């Protein structure tokens, strides 16, 4: 196992400006002997380092980078498929597309955008709103958290869009939370139809470029649409930049990259998740919302232990990544172990 650490330091520019200029500000962390890190995070890093396959833990609090660790040969430049963290990026792009006038509102329907590319689009699917999709309340039978996940069948389908729209609705739209990658994927297709460019190209122009995030990759379906729910390849610092952008209300250097009202709406509870994941009792617009020990937070998360964790009252962003190419039970265990470190080690260490 290899480690690289950056000691805590006060940033001389505003936090959003400083860390969001990802490569220019942080540079390459110096290499230190294993076990050398900020004393108040000693327990957190000791525990995270014992998780098989863990790749990174990055902690930013109150204007300082207070911990940045890489494991198992990873570096600040290592790209990683962050799985369902991708969904939170897709959501941000929808908010930007609405602000730019490509999408009228969240009341627009699937049929408004996909009717022209999917022959015989079922009326029930065509009438689903963007709000139904963003809150995971479309009404489909499948859920990637209950019983056998449908992800594998969907991702192996000869046409991922067709697979989603031909899946049966079992609940009235807007009523029941059922988490699925297919739901998120429809939004990426809507983005491409609405903007005339791919979700990745739109992100590079309106989000990644202004944040200082370099060229990145994003997996596509067999029609060429970026996968709305998984497959975005970014670095831990990219993830921190996105978390900090939301912590700062979507603004960077006075420029509103993501509309402030979209940040609020995205991180406000729209529906109960019935505790589909630990610490994620409610759901916003592709962000999980929860509380622990009296502290409210919201987070983007992906299979196997990928996190952008934001606790506004603590002025805290925590990023973690982990190898997810492991058996399902092991991936679930890694996810649980990492979130426990964030909630019960990192948060108390940096809290009041």
Q: What is residue 201's predicted lDDT score, i.e. its pLDDT?
A: 98
Q: How far apart are CA 106 and CA 124, in angstroms?
A: 17
Q: What is residue 36's predicted lDDT score, i.e. its pLDDT?
A: 53
Written as one string, the DSSP assignment of 149-205 is: -SHHHHHHSS-HHHHHHTSPB-S-TTT-----HHHHHHHHHHHHHHHSS-HHHHHII
Cα–Cα distances in Å, from 43 out to 6, 27, 37, 342, 344? 16, 26, 10, 11, 10
Q: What is residue 142's predicted lDDT score, i.e. its pLDDT?
A: 80
CATH 1.20.58 matches 85-199: yes
pLDDT tens digits for 86-133? 999 999 999 999 999 999 999 999 999 999 999 999 999 999 999 999
Q: What is residue 63's predicted lDDT score, i.e. its pLDDT?
A: 63
Q: What is residue 127's predicted lDDT score, i.e. its pLDDT?
A: 98
Assess contact for 236 and 56: CB atoms under 8 A.
yes
The CATH number given to 9-78+235-251+269-350 is: 3.40.710.10
Q: What is residue 150's predicted lDDT score, i.e. its pLDDT?
A: 86
Q: Report domain extents, the chain.
A: 9-78+235-251+269-350, 85-199
- What size, in residues, is the chain? 352
Q: What is residue 28's predicted lDDT score, i.e. its pLDDT?
A: 38
Neighbours of 277 (CB within 10 A): 17
Q: How far apart are CA 301 and CA 34, in angstroms?
A: 27
Q: How far apart are CA 160 and CA 150, in angstroms?
A: 12
Q: What is residue 61's predicted lDDT score, i.e. its pLDDT?
A: 86
Query: What would you report as the CA-atom Rg of the chain, rounded to the nearest whole angstrom?
Result: 19
Q: What is residue 1's predicted lDDT score, i.e. its pLDDT?
A: 34
Q: What is residue 348's predicted lDDT score, i.e. its pLDDT?
A: 94
Flag residues of the chain having pLDDT under 50: 1-35
């Amino acid at each position: 196992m290899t480690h690289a650490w950056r000691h805590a330091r006060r940033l001389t520019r505003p936090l959003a400006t400083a860390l969001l200029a990802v490569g220019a500000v942080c540079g390459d962390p110096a290499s230190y002997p294993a076990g050398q890190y900020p004393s108040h995070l000693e327990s957190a890093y000791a525990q995270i380092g014992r998780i098989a396959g863990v790749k990174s833990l990055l902690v930013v609090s109150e204007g300082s980078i207070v911990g940045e660790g890489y494991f198992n040969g990873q570096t600040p430049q290592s790209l990683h498929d962050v799985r369902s963290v991708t969904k939170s990026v897709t959501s941000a792009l929808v908010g930007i597309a609405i602000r730019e006038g490509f999408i009228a509102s969240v009341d627009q329907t699937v049929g408004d955008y996909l009717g022209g590319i999917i022959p015989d689009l079922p009326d029930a699917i065509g009438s689903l709103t963007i709000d139904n999709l963003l809150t995971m309340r479309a009404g489909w039978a499948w859920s990637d958290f209950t019983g056998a996940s449908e992800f594998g069948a969907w991702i192996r389908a000869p046409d991922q869009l067709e697979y989603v729209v031909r899946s049966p609705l079992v609940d009235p739209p807007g009523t029941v939370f059922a988490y699925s990658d297919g739901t998120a994927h429809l939004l990426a297709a809507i983005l491409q139809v609405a903007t005339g460019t791919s979700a990745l190209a739109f992100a590079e122009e309106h989000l990644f470029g202004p944040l200082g995030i370099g060229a990145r990759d994003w997996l596509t379906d067999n029609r060429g649409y970026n996968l709305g729910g998984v497959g975005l390849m970014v670095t831990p610092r990219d993830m921190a930049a996105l978390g900090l952008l939301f912590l700062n209300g979507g603004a960077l250097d006075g420029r509103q990259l993501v509309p402030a009202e979209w940040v609020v709406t995205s991180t406000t509870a729209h529906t109960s998740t019935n505790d589909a994941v630990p610490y994620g009792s409610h759901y916003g617009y592709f962000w999980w919302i929860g509380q622990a020990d009296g502290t409210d937070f919201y987070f983007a998360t992906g299979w196997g232990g990928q996190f952008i964790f934001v606790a506004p009252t603590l002025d805290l962003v925590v990023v973690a990544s982990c190898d997810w190419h492991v058996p399902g039970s092991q991936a679930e265990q890694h996810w649980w172990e990492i979130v426990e470190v964030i909630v019960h080690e990192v948060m108390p260490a940096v809290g009041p």
